[in-house]
A and B are shown apart, each in its own frame.
Chain A
Amino acid sequence: MKRWLLVLSTTAILAAADPAALSDQAMGLAQQKKLAEAEALWKQALQADAAYFPALFNLGLMKVQQSKFSEGEAYLEKAAKAEPKDFNSRYLLGLARSKNGDHDGALRAWRAALTLQPNQLKLMQVMSVEYGAGRYYQEAAAIAERAIELKPADPALYFMAITAYRQAGELSKGREVARRAAERFPESARAQFEYGWHLLKDGEYDSALTRIKKAMELDPSYEEPFFYYGDWLVNQGRYAEAEPLLRRAIEILPGYIPARVRLGRALMGDGRLDDAIAELNRAIEQEPRHPQPHLLLSQIYFRQKDLKKAAAEKRESLRLRRENPQFLEAEQTRPFPE
């Protein structure tokens, strides 16, 4: 009896001391969806070897899949240290950090992952979005440009770079990418529009409007060219001409608040104050938090010499502006903290 017990306990000690065996056993359990048991075994494996990579990685992955990102991050950080050349742990670590709100940390993990797989296109796309979200627009543009080099036939990558350059204020670089996109994808409404938009900014109005009109023809269901053409006409004081374009943008995308507000502005400029009021009230119905329709209504009522209504709309606009600065504030680009 004593001998039998000794054998059993020796086997248990041996198993406990073999993290690979424990981890394999855990993997089997995980595949059978017995996650709690699998977790216990991986933890046992770590008791035997605190730096045992498969246990660290799989625990991290499991926690990320369970949306337990903080726990996942802790395991994945150790996994990344245990296997410095492992791509997946660094990728997942970035994901966990991002979900935990540590966006700079996420990007650091992904930057490390990208050094391991420099041609990982999808990671580049993820990083470009994350850089942009963090206002690291220069970095977002740079990585999108790298992605274009890898897959020049994908128009989405060009648009990603153009957006990043626009946000970074690097319009000359954005224009060059847009030009390449317009040449490479002549049937892409977005490509034609993006190039047209840059030409518009550079004061090359004839060429710009030609491109933007072409975008409208290529895809009449694409709202942006209609909006920006209309917006340009409003900026030029050509209010009556702007109206049908802005209406078309709204027809395509009824919830397009900037287009509806701009339409209200165009109608106001054209002296059609009652029509403008109606349009701005529709904008308010659709987005009650937006201060700009109220601001324009204040101006219209002032023009109609209804100072009481003008004051009320002003107060509402100022209140909404305080409460919802996101509608009118612009976040500035910043360099990634190396």
Chain B
Amino acid sequence: MVLAVLLAAWAAEPPCAPLRAQGQATQRASAVSSGKRSDKPFLAKFVDAAPAAGLDMRFVYGDAKSKQYIMEANGSGVAWVDYDGDGRLDAFLVNGSTFDAPDAKAVSRLFRNDGKGGFEDVTAAAGVGRSGWGTGVCAGDYDNDGSTDLYVAYWGANALYRNTGKGGFQEQAAQAGVAGGADEWTSGCAFVDFDRDGLLDLLTTQYQRFDPKTTPKAGATSTCQWKGMPVFCGPRGLPYGGATLYHNKGDGSFEDVSETSGIRSVRSYYAFTAAAADFTGDGWPDIYVACDSTPNLFFINNGDGTFTDFATETGLGFNEHGNEQGGMGLGIGDFDNDGQLDIIKTNFAGDYPNVYHNLGDGIFEDIVIRAGLGANPQYVGWGVQLIDLDNDGLQDVFQVNGHVYPELDAQKAIDEAFRQPGVVYRNLGGGRFEDVTDLAGPGLEQKRSSRGAAFGDFDNDGDIDVLVMNMNDQASLFRNDLDSSNHWLRVKLRGTTSNRDAVGSVIRVKAGGATQARAVLSQDSYISHSDLRAHFGLGAAQKVNAILVQWPSGRSESFPAAGVDRELLLVEGEGEALASP
């Protein structure tokens, strides 16, 4: 005899869900459509020109199929830099390594632009072919000798490549005092003249302190899983990174001012890309840092050699709903042509990017849903930029993507892939964008696990091309074959009182009834360096009414009207002085 069992409508109690059960801050964000797409054609077409151009760089970054450590997952940056001063952008690509049998031939490489659409590997001659776990790159003429220098971040000692001006570089990090600690995993960097003395100082960001001997292996703890799948651990649960600020002493060396400047007043974060620009409009460069799974940092320059982190207060620390995010890359631009620098930030999968609209006075508002950029939360976003791809006078968005777990490819239960296509959003005006990836050319059909991306006009044909780092894969060179009658202007600055590369300047161009702003940045996108020349799409405007330059020295100048479809060189002191901010 058996007692009757009644199947009551008993509701199972939820289990005690482990808090922060994954190593990565993410949401369960679902795609939000930007609404009905406009019928306008999108004229920018991207083609991967890397193979034909001789850009035969295959990146090495950890095990291609299974990653034991987070070190193998984050990849590296790339740079567009005119190292030989010939007016053409050369390509510098930062390489990684492997834990098992590292290949000494896997080095970072420099490719010289031959001016005919091709590239020549000049790594050895230039002296930049270092192996190891390279990460971020930034550029700027720190010694004001007229040649742009490079700083390359590593797990371990970083490299400061002083440009000799004779086609080569000398590694000076240790002598200059900017090599960093041997156990530090430096990720981002940015040259910034924070005290406006005309010399570029240097900020570095550390992702974490990493030691494979003490880091748990994949699947070891609750922070080592993704949707139930064992994966490498972190970043949560692993030792935090930090930030370091070096002051340029003007004699080729730097001093660590992290403590006295207030940069070290904030702790407990995993830092990636750093972007330095005057976000508050007071004439002093501020620093914004995208952080992974921890609040972002926004160091406002107090104008006295110190900074205060106001990320939370200004709306830049979290998303609109106060969530920490897996922040990776940063794009800085002015998507609504109001003359203020806005920020776009890429994040981990299951989350939206941030579109931080600058409201002035250092106040920002994340308008990602309103802007229509909530359409692709399935991607892990990395390199990104607000940039005018079709020269219509409105800055679009180009974003490269790629998951961090190659193990996804070997299982079917999770509907995600390691290799992901890039996305392009067209700026419709009014602060709204639409996904036009399918109209943006065959290059966007390419699925790779991309990380760094650098933006610049490598063939000087008046449109923006994109150089991309791909994990354990070939580099991509998305050449923009724009077929448009829209006009454009490229502005190159030369500082005299300011640092010679004018890093930290803000350029405002008045044309066609709008004022567009661009910042000259030492790092942006994902731990990468883009063209120091500012590109402005002008639409149908036949002339530029005025160009206003806010130099990093604090000086503001106006330059006279100019023609279009050309590059201008503006030299500090040659314009009409304006009241400084």
B26 & A302 in contact (Cβ 8 Å cutoff)? no
With known contacts A314-B312, A328-B324, A337–B228 Cβ distance under 8 A: yes
Which chain B residues (1-43) contact chain A, with CB distance < 8 Å? 1-3, 5, 7-17, 19-22, 25-28, 30-36
Does A236 reach chain B (CB closer than 8 Å)? yes
Does B363 reach chain A (CB closer than 8 Å)? yes
- Choose, from B101-109, B154-162, B338-346, B365-373, the stretch at the interface: B365-373
Cα A337 to Cα B227 with chains together (Å): 11
Does B165 reach chain A (CB closer than 8 Å)? no
Chain B residue numbers with a CB within 8 Å of A334 are 225, 227-229, 414
Residue ID in chain B nearest A198 by CB atoms: B30
Does A182 reach chain B (CB closer than 8 Å)? no
Residue ID in chain B nearest A88 by CB atoms: B5
B295 & A331 in contact (Cβ 8 Å cutoff)? no
Cα A42 to Cα B9 with chains together (Å): 29
Q: Give min CB distance, B446 to chain A, whole Å.
A: 25
Could you tell me the dominant secondary structure of chain A's interface residues? helix
CB contacts between A and B, total, < 8 Å: 149
Chain A residue numbers with a CB within 8 Å of B321 are 292, 328
Does A288 reach chain B (CB closer than 8 Å)? no
Does B323 reach chain A (CB closer than 8 Å)? yes
Does B315 reach chain A (CB closer than 8 Å)? yes
B225-237 near A? 1/0 per residue, CB < 8 Å: 1111100000000
With known contacts A203-B36, A318-B312, A332-B226, A58–B19 Cβ distance under 8 A: no
Cα A106 to Cα B10 with chains together (Å): 13
B15 & A91 in contact (Cβ 8 Å cutoff)? no
Chain A residue numbers with a CB within 8 Å of B22 are 332
B310 & A302 in contact (Cβ 8 Å cutoff)? yes
Chain B residue numbers with a CB within 8 Å of A331 are 17, 21, 28
Does B322 reach chain A (CB closer than 8 Å)? yes
B167-193 near A? 1/0 per residue, CB < 8 Å: 000000000000000000000000000
Cα A92 to Cα B35 with chains together (Å): 49
Question: Which one of A23, A98, A299 contacts B312 once the chains associate, using CB atoms below 8 Å?
Answer: A299
Residue ID in chain A nearest B375 by CB atoms: A203
A295 & B312 in contact (Cβ 8 Å cutoff)? yes
Residue ID in chain A nearest B318 by CB atoms: A295
Question: Which one of A27, A326, A332 contacts B1 once the chains associate, using CB atoms below 8 Å?
Answer: A27
With known contacts A120-B7, A167-B28, A302-B313, A23–B21 Cβ distance under 8 A: no
With known contacts A91-B7, A133-B14, A54–B322 Cβ distance under 8 A: no
B19 & A302 in contact (Cβ 8 Å cutoff)? no
Does B350 reach chain A (CB closer than 8 Å)? yes
A18-34 near B? 1/0 per residue, CB < 8 Å: 00000110010010000
Q: Give min CB distance, A153 to chain B, whole Å.
A: 17
B227 & A58 in contact (Cβ 8 Å cutoff)? no
Cα A303 to Cα B27 with chains together (Å): 28
Chain A residue numbers with a CB within 8 Å of B10 are 95, 126
A122 & B7 in contact (Cβ 8 Å cutoff)? yes
Q: Give min CB distance, B406 to chain A, whole Å.
A: 18
Chain B residue numbers with a CB within 8 Å of A201 are 30-33
Cα A265 to Cα B320 with chains together (Å): 9
Does B413 reach chain A (CB closer than 8 Å)? yes
Chain B residue numbers with a CB within 8 Å of A98 are 12-13
Q: Give min CB distance, A304 to chain B, whole Å.
A: 11
Chain A residue numbers with a CB within 8 Å of B66 are none
Does A255 reach chain B (CB closer than 8 Å)? no
With known contacts A54-B1, A329-B19, A330-B350, A335–B26 Cβ distance under 8 A: no
Q: Give min CB distance, A155 to chain B, whole Å.
A: 15
Chain B residue numbers with a CB within 8 Å of A133 are 12-15, 17
Which chain A residues (185-212) contact chain B, with CB distance < 8 Å? 201-205
Q: Give min CB distance, B32 to chain A, whole Å.
A: 6
Residue ID in chain A nearest B36 by CB atoms: A203
A169 & B30 in contact (Cβ 8 Å cutoff)? yes
Question: Which one of A88, A235, A317 contacts B369 once the chains associate, using CB atoms below 8 Å?
Answer: A235
Cα A24 to Cα B17 with chains together (Å): 43
Cα A202 to Cα B36 with chains together (Å): 9
Chain B residue numbers with a CB within 8 Å of A235 are 320, 369-370
B322 & A291 in contact (Cβ 8 Å cutoff)? yes
A61 & B5 in contact (Cβ 8 Å cutoff)? yes
Q: Give min CB distance, B554 to chain A, whole Å.
A: 23
Cα A237 to Cα B312 with chains together (Å): 20
B14 & A236 in contact (Cβ 8 Å cutoff)? no
Does A74 reach chain B (CB closer than 8 Å)? no
Query: What is the interface of chain B, defined by CB distance below 8 A to chain A?
Result: 1-3, 5, 7-17, 19-22, 25-28, 30-36, 225-229, 295, 310, 312-315, 317-318, 320-324, 350, 361, 363, 365, 367, 369-370, 413-414
11 A-B residue pairs with CB within 8 Å: A27-B1, A88-B2, A127-B12, A129-B11, A169-B350, A201-B32, A203-B33, A235-B320, A299-B363, A314-B313, A326-B19
Give the 8 A-B residue pairs with the shortest CB-CB distance, closest first.
A334-B228, A203-B33, A335-B413, A133-B14, A302-B313, A203-B35, A130-B12, A88-B5
